[in-house]
Structure 1
Amino acid sequence: MPEALIIGAGDGLSASLARLLAREGYAVALAARNTAKLAALAAETGAATHACDAADPAQVAALFEAAGGAQVVVYNPSYRVRGPIADLDPADVQRSLQVCAFGGFLAVREAARRMLPRRAGTILLTGASAGVKGYPLSAPFAMGKFALRGLAQSAARELHPQGVHVAHVVIDGGIRSNRRPEPGEDTLLDPDAIAESYWHLIRQPRSAWSWEIELRPWVERF
């Protein structure tokens, strides 16, 4: 049975990915700082859960020791800080960079160590609009997501020739959830539809690998 590890799991996109991968025959592992919130999803999908702070090197290493044989690794955590640059708390900015970017490096590093000997595997990094355009009052998030995008591009150029597929997914728009109900017809990204695009990346033939795709609802302004 193939294995998949989703880091930064929750009740949105990660839940849709977990359900899809479980349906496709994967043994799914879910990692989050608070695993209690994953109980219902784990019961539904048969997934294992692991407590992990994605920005802590020791915890990420321990996570991969416990669940690191995965053929698919998805890095999904984000930490958003908003406010005028002159008023931002440096500690909050540092945390945003640690979660959005440094944690992505830790995950890619541990995944690559295990996938390179097999010359196979897929690493998917969840990006955002902020990774390609910095918005006002959102500098820390832009800094972190720009760094994650750079990591993905560099890792793809390095690892693709060695058989490991790395891809960055730009989520350019709001994602539908219980906390963010649909205001109109398909005006928000459906997390199940996003998951289908991740599945497409996982199944891409290596003769035509994408290193990045961009997803937006049909009404999103470019």
Structure 2
Amino acid sequence: MRNMASSGASARGIAAIVGVGPKLGRSIARRFAHEGYTVAILARDLGRLSRFADEIAREEKAQVFAIRIDCSDSKSVKEAFEGVLSLGFVEVLVYNAYKPAMSWNPINFTDVRIDSFEKSLAVSSVGAFHCAQQVLPGMVERGKGTILFTGCSASLNGIAGFSELCCGKFALRALSQCLAREFQPLGVHVAHVVIDGVVGPPSRSICTLAGRGHQRRKGRSWLGNNTAVEVLGIVQDH
């Protein structure tokens, strides 16, 4: 279940990054490794994940663990976090998982398949629910910790032809707000980071940081690495 690449030790806690692909997830993982965290990266494709772990560990001289997870399966989430928690206390959880669209062209609502709709909800919001439940007890016990959920423009606005994506992202935003209000008094910071643009080539976009009942907006040209710096900044601010 777990693969490790290590080039040094860390005195900090674990940064668990769920939903690590070649763009944003990998950039976030690299940034936390650079700052001295032990990093657990989680996704479905363990082979690709292991290559990312080797690369980040070698370049950042950090401890990086690759752990397979299927966020739509509660049993898989539980097993994955047994591996994560065996490494030490989770100081940061970043939930970046979502169900990729078969096509980014709009789909008529009457043509949406129920199994595809349910899968999108399961990955975007139910998976986040399960992951948060795995780490919150330890964070509350220590009186500190940060949980970050990543969203997109579909988290804020319903878009014709994208009901699968929007419903899952709306639910994730609601979950983040509920957790922020419940656990902030206990020392746990929860934030919802909306990246209103495409991660990759530079593009003008807006980042909304919604946590503890407030929002901040920033106009910015986004690259994966720039976004990762912003995400780390939220953790360091709290």
Range into which the TM-score falls when normalised by the shorter chain: 0.7 to 0.9
Segments of structure 1 that go 5 or more residues without pairing to the other structure are 206-222
Distance 1:183 1:144 in 2: 24
The residue number in structure 2 matching 1:66 is: 83
Q: SS state of the match for residue 40, structure 2?
A: strand
TM-score, with normalisation over the residues of structure 2? 0.80
**Aligned with 1:87 (options 99, 104, 111):** 111
> Is structure 2 residue 171 aligned with structure 1 residue 138?
no
Q: Which residue of structure 2 lines up, in the alignment, with residue 77 of structure 1?
A: 97
Question: Greater strand share, 1 or 2?
Answer: 2
Q: Is 1:110–2:134 an aligned residue pair?
A: yes
Find 2:198's aligned residue among 166, 169, 174.
174
Question: Equivalent residue for 1:57?
Answer: 74
1:78 and 1:99 in contact (8 A); partners too: yes
For residues 75-107 of structure 1, what are the alpha-carbon distances to aligned partners after superposition, in whole Å with 9 as ceiling and x for unaligned? 011114451101111100000000011001111
Q: Which letter does structure 1 place at the counterpart of 2:145?
A: G
Give the Cα–Cα distance (whole angstroms) in 2 for the partners of residues 159 and 17 of structure 1.
Answer: 24
The alignment partner of 1:106 has SS state of helix
Identity %: 35
Aligned mate of 1:33, from 44, 49, 61: 44
Tell me the amino acid that sits aligned with residue 149 of structure 2.
L
The one-letter code sitting in structure 2 at the alignment partner of 1:37 is R
RMSD of the TM alignment (CA)? 1.8
Equivalent residue in structure 2 for 1:152, among 170, 173, 176 = 176
Q: Give CA-to-partner distance per residue, 1:47-97, whole Å, 9 cap, x none.
A: 111111012111111222111221011101111445110111110000000
* Secondary structure of the structure 2 residue equivalent to 1:116: helix
The yes-or-no answer on 1:191 pairing with 2:220 is: no
- Are 1:120 and 2:147 matched, yes or no? no
> Which one-letter code corresponds to 1:149 in the other structure?
R
TM-score (norm 1): 0.85
Instruction: Name the CA distance, whole Å, in 1 between partners of 2:231 and 2:221.
Output: 17
Show structure 1 runs of 4+ deviating over 3 A: 181-184
1:40 offset after TM fit, Å? 2.7
Alignment of 1:207-222 (within 5 A): none
Aligned length: 200
SS at match of 1:83: coil
Inter-partner Cα distance in structure 2 for 1:23 and 1:123 = 19
Counterpart contact for 1:131–1:145, Cα < 8 Å = yes
Aligned to 1:71, the other structure's residue is in SS state: strand
